[in-house]
Amino acid sequence: RASADSAARAAGARVAALATSPVPVVPHTTPQPRYEMILDRFSITTREQLTCGCHVHVSVDSDEEGVAVLDRIRTWLPVLTALTANSPFWNGTDTGYASFRSQAWGRIPTTGPHDIFGSAQGYHGHVQALLATGVPLDEAMMYFDARLSRDHPTVEIRVADVCLDADTTVLLAALVRALVETASRQWCAGEPPQPVSVAVLRLAGWQASRWGIESDLLHPLDNRPHAAGDVITALLEHVRPALIEAGDEATVEALLAQVLADGTGSRRQRAVFQRRGRLSDVVIDAISITNTGQSRLNRR
């Protein structure tokens, strides 16, 4: 983050880890042929697509393992959206959402949760069926909540907002790695994925986007609303063996407790605006937090 901010300063700018812009902006598209084709195809959806997500890659040994992982982590991904919510404002307006980035991004038709694929063949067949419609330009536009990476031997989890502070990013990465490891072990043990419909997963994602951790979340084990703290505790217990093996348990427990106590970036943004009354101050505060390097565990 410090390196990015140093480069930004050289260009007369600063870096702020925000998933959407609190202040009014006019986005512009990078002048590359592919991006210009996307702009032509999706029109205002692309022109307004100024969002910043945080993608986490975890290595897998094969496409078969990767797809088995995708099939088994899908129900837990909305919890990650809630924990990383950092986009309450959009173009000068409080949207009412904790993660409005999720809503803006979701207007592209290839985004969101996916069905259970069952195998690598099922995954690749699904991708080819979508490409055959002519709507997405290419395979890079398979913007699923989680997918096989085209460029690396990994699964790529894509549901999180860019996090205001580095500690939340560390928390996200540790939880994602543990989710992937847990799913791989379930696959090896012959445990099937939960047969939850895409429609229900969309509702779980919407609930997480709307409230973050400030209200109930849909519990991945019964698809009913439960207190956010209880759902987050269930996630922790689900991945605890993998966290212990990786040496991450104590760090994750401490950071989760801090997020539950202090709230997400979304809560902080709103608190700054309520206290100071200007969205520009929200950006100034975000610049400070982005570049402070101070641990969430030591900051109030």
CB 238 within 8 A of CB 79: no
CB 255 within 8 A of CB 171: yes
Nearest-CA neighbor of 167 among 77, 16, 290? 290
Q: Distances in Å between the alpha carbon of 246 and those of 35, 68, 100, 155?
A: 39, 21, 33, 18
Model-level pTM? 0.94
Q: Which residues of the chain have pLDDT under 50?
A: 300
Q: pLDDT at position 297, please?
A: 52
The CATH topology of domain 2-295 is Creatine Kinase; Chain A, domain 2 (3.30.590)
CA–CA separation, 5 vs 11, rounded Å?
A: 10
